[in-house]
Amino acid sequence: MISFTLNGKPVSAMAAPTSRLTEVLRESLNAKGTKVGCDAGDCGACTVLMDGRQVCACLIPAARAEGETIQTVEAEDADLSRLKAAFLRHGAAQCGICTPGMLIAAVDLLRRNPNPSEVEAQDALGGVLCRCTGYRKIITAVCDVGGETGSDPAQNGRVGDAVARLDGAAKVAGDSFGADYSPDGALVVQAIRSPHPHAAFSFGDLAAFTARPGVAGVFTAVDIPGRNAFGVIPPFADQPAIAQSPARFRGECVALVAYEPGAEADIADFPITWQTLPALITPAEAEAEGAAPLHPTRPGNRLIEGRVRKGDVAAAMASSAHVAQASMETSFVEHAYIEPEAGSAWMEGDTLIIRACTQAPVMDRDDTALILNLAPERVRIIPSAVGGGFGSKLDVSLQPLLGLVTLRTGRPCRMTYSRTESMSSTTKRHPAEMTGRIGCDADGRITAVEFEGRFNTGAYSSWGPTVANRVPVHVSGPYLTPNIHARARAIHTHGPVSGAFRGFGVPQAALWQEPIYDELAAKVGMDRLEFRILNALRDGDASATGQILNAVGIAPCLEALRPHWARALSDAANASGPMRRGVGVASCWYGCGNTSLPNPSTIRIALSHQGRVVLHQGATDVGQGSNTVIAQIAAEALCLPLDQITLIGPDTALTPDAGKTSASRQTFVSGRAAKAAAESLRRTVLRLANAGDGARLSLTGPILTVTEGSTRREVDLASLPTDAFGYALTAEETYDPPTSGLDENGQGKPYALYGYGAQMVELEVDPALGTLRLLKITAAHDVGRAINPQLAEGQIEGGVAQGIGLAIMEEYIAGRTENLHDYLIPTIGDVPPIESLLIEVPDPEGPFGAKGLGEHVLIPTAPAILNAIRHATGAVVTKVPALPHRILAAIKAAS
């Protein structure tokens, strides 16, 4: 028995003396505000105060807590309350998984230093990783902890208001993520995973293992009742939930063990024999003559090739005044959300309920139902709060595994991936090998783009087809390109499965194309920014796919950078000292929604008999803010205040399908559906009141007042009959972006709407060490209409941070960087000040003109960094991450 003081109250718990303090808090004391991200002291999510000092609870033996004072995010504490308010006020919490650790680290700081500087805040919070926010708003919140909380009456939740996120209070309290709910009596599920990239395996005496004390069951591929293949794009579905021999990548699940609650999971001597097989690690090996296909239907290990061809590239290149050629290589990049996959499952009657972190509840339901041979309506997916996704939580991970155990045992179960399991078994950004050339005329106008990209799609299809199709469409960048021939192929290897990661291959392509534009500008003798402005797509121009574009915002973004660019170039020219200062710029464009495929969203909005506006919002908010943005759009369209809206969902039993949180589509597609539903509900109300379009609504209790001029009518909602949805009045609307298929040359209208942006990076290079110091990033993004400017800035800052990681530190190597100390993501000291310039070129297709933003923001950062390095030193980096040794080698090669 271990006794200590937790948040001012004496507590006691039964715990092994060396069990982690996190386990005591979470499992024995049910204090789940303290999160676990790595169990290794690498992420700081579990930061608590012990005897007033911040420590990682995952590294503290339970016995050492005896007699101590422990404080967690659940504490009632004045400093903590002020910090929570500041975090909400400044939008410092996005997904919320790092927030408890950040808050506690900040409490530790404030008690030592009530008025911290920015650097002091960074030093104090340097041990907590955040993957969403880019840290800047966290620093601001900590340094402004004493600031005013007063509400701005102008910020009442209309479209354009920077209201605090509606789910923010839960985030700063320690939200309930996948691992934070455990049904009573839940079995604890552990996966057995392949330690090899390619290996045959066979099982020993599973019955004997099953008979061990504490083991409730062992499950392998033969136990799967349905189709043992899932995939986000149904025609390509190829990934087993539990592999049959052979395993095709390191980390692949080959069996499950379910343990009784409280039993110690020990899978060290699980009866399995491995026979390693030759592994195809690189796409070159996988494409080599005679290489065995991973999947028999995909000869040459080619999953797919995407193409765009327009005009006559050969002739255009031949007559170009200047042509520049380049190659670029990128690495596997891990999403590194701080929440490892986690969830639980149980039965309610005939319905299998799975509560887990996800970006795509309906896809989870449908894939899980297929795997388990259930009708989809017998599976209900309840998304937990999601501690970051960035694309990887689109694919199912543990949902079918949880479902299988509960279905087979009839008992509730739960599962939490370790950090290493999360990193080794889930999807990555595709490594790319890209080469090609771009031409321009003597005036600097782009004439032609020729591109070939090979993308390592890993062992299974996942989002490989999407990457192969998106890259050729976007590889010109947002520039008028009369002639193009672009091909991108996805090649299977025995590597980690490459899937969706913020940008679907477009960030890699930008790393190829944007440095070439710098080189062409130099050849023409033009300023690099002006070269881009000259070539920027304009309304009425045709894209590479022949789509006539409108609401094109790239030129306004680039033009907004002009004064900053002039100032930065001047600063760089006047800088002295041993550091070399450089400035770089890069652009982005990005089509919102699925590429040439339907992707509808449906939103339901209702007036209850009690007088609430109930928004059934099925778009999962993984931190990006759809809970708030969709509600703001609905409130605006309905013409009622935001604070009268009650959010329901997402939950496949309660919310209509709002599609997946990917492709920067939720603000646009679900936003359009929400707008349509709210307008429909408003029309119904106006009809009931016999009022015209301009009437004002107000809601007091169940009385809905409709005012038109001097006429006031009251609708008593309580008196209305109950409709099919259980409400007084309900509207449900669907929106599906109008697109067309791409022909064999990739011509067509792949997206209904594009967003645009451009970023400028200022940095210093240490020429003796090849290290960088980022000084400032200025990010201009055309969002069409900023529904919530604070959330939009949060997306920009977070995307920039991930772009920094892509550019200079992140390289996932299977078997070697499966943790957060060998795999580096930016810390609070690695993200410089970011100035966001929100540009609004409204798109008639978007809700109130709004465009998507979530992925766009990551695309320009990395190429702008490379361009700044080149400006500073002349170094041409051809492989990212640009680690110090690569930069130093490039500096030497240039001189």
Partner 1 sequence: MRSYARPTTLPDLRAHLAAGPFRILAGGTDLYPGAGPQLDGDILDLTAVPNLRGIRVDGNLRIGACTTWTEVAEAYLPPALHALQQAALQVGGRQIQNAGTIGGNLCNASPAADGIPPLLACDAMVELTSATAIREVPLADFLLGPRKTARAADEVLTAVIIPQAALGGRSAFVKLGARAYLVISIAMVAARLVVQDGRIADCAVAVGSCSATAERLRSAEAALIGVSVSDAVARLDPHLIASGLAPIDDIRATAAYRGEAAVELVKRAVAGALA
| Contacting residues toward partner 1, per CB under 8 A | 16-20, 39-42, 44, 47, 53-56, 58-61, 63-64, 105, 108, 122-124, 126-129, 264-265, 768-771, 808-809, 811, 813, 816-817, 819, 821-822, 824, 826-830, 883-885, 888-889
Q: Which C-beta is closer to partner 1: that of 47 or that of 730?
A: 47
Q: Are 249 and 496 in contact (CB under 8 A)?
A: yes
Q: Are 323 and 22 in contact (CB under 8 A)?
A: no
Q: Is 850 helix (H, G, I), strand (E, B) or coil?
A: coil
CB of 314 vs partner 1, minimal distance in Å: 40
Q: Which C-beta is closer to partner 1: that of 77 or that of 108?
A: 108
Q: Among 156, 38, 869, 870, which Cα is nearest to 522's?
A: 870
CB of 805 vs partner 1, minimal distance in Å: 9
CB of 628 vs partner 1, minimal distance in Å: 31
246 preceded by a cis bond (ω within 30 of 0) = yes
Q: Are 509 and 483 in contact (CB under 8 A)?
A: no
List all residues 6 or more positions away from 207 whose beta carbon is below 8 Å from its beta carbon.
Answer: none
CB of 417 vs partner 1, minimal distance in Å: 12
Q: Are 197 and 249 in contact (CB under 8 A)?
A: yes
Q: Which C-beta is closer to partner 1: that of 212 or that of 821?
A: 821
**Beta strand spans in 645-684 (E):** 645-648
Q: Which C-beta is closer to partner 1: that of 19 or that of 399?
A: 19
How far, in Å, CA of 420 to CA of 212, rounded?
Answer: 26
Tokens of 47: 């930061």
How far, in Å, CA of 342 to CA of 75, rounded?
Answer: 25
Q: Which residue has the tokens 């890259």?
A: 471
How far, in Å, CA of 437 to CA of 450, rounded?
Answer: 5
Q: Which C-beta is closer to partner 1: that of 126 or that of 183?
A: 126
CB of 101 vs partner 1, minimal distance in Å: 9
Our CA dihedral for 523, 525, 526, 528, rounded to 10 degrees, sits at: 50
Tokens of 645: 């809206």
Q: Is 856 helix (H, G, I), strand (E, B) or coil?
A: helix
Q: Which C-beta is closer to partner 1: that of 743 or that of 822?
A: 822
How far, in Å, CA of 364 to CA of 383, rounded?
Answer: 10
CB contact burial 489-515 (16+ within 10 A = b; e otherwise): bbbbbbbbbbbbbbbbbbbbbbbbbbb
CB of 37 vs partner 1, minimal distance in Å: 12
Q: Which C-beta is closer to partner 1: that of 342 or that of 629?
A: 342
CB of 20 vs partner 1, minimal distance in Å: 7
Sequence-ordered alpha helix ranges (H) in 690-788: none
How far, in Å, CA of 103 to CA of 69, rounded?
Answer: 17
Q: Which C-beta is closer to partner 1: that of 315 or that of 769?
A: 769
Q: Which C-beta is closer to partner 1: that of 439 or that of 805?
A: 805
Q: Which C-beta is closer to partner 1: that of 713 or that of 776?
A: 776
CB of 821 vs partner 1, minimal distance in Å: 6
Q: What is the DSSP string of 150-194?
A: PPPTT-SS-TT--PPPTTHHHHHHH--BGGG---TT-EEEEEEE-
CB of 853 vs partner 1, minimal distance in Å: 26
How far, in Å, CA of 548 to CA of 254, rounded?
Answer: 49
CB of 12 vs partner 1, minimal distance in Å: 18
How far, in Å, CA of 112 to CA of 127, rounded?
Answer: 17
Strand partners, 648: 616
CB of 27 vs partner 1, minimal distance in Å: 11
Q: Are 140 and 92 in contact (CB under 8 A)?
A: yes
Our CA dihedral for 699, 702, 708, 712, rounded to 10 degrees, sits at: -130
Q: Among 765, 761, 808, which Cα is nearest to 331's?
A: 808
CB of 865 vs partner 1, minimal distance in Å: 14
Count CB-CB contacts under 10 A for residue 538.
11
Angle subtended at Cα 432 by Cα 764 and Cα 795, rounded to the nearest 5 degrees? 60
How far, in Å, CA of 168 to CA of 365, rounded?
Answer: 27
Q: Which C-beta is closer to partner 1: that of 24 or that of 491?
A: 24
Q: Which C-beta is closer to partner 1: that of 18 or that of 576?
A: 18
Q: Which C-beta is closer to partner 1: that of 696 or that of 885?
A: 885
CB of 126 vs partner 1, minimal distance in Å: 3
CB of 345 vs partner 1, minimal distance in Å: 21
Q: Which C-beta is closer to partner 1: that of 63 or that of 542?
A: 63
CB of 40 vs partner 1, minimal distance in Å: 4
Q: What is the DSSP string of 384-395?
A: -B-S--TTGGGS
Q: Which C-beta is closer to partner 1: that of 55 or that of 333?
A: 55
114 preceded by a cis bond (ω within 30 of 0) = no
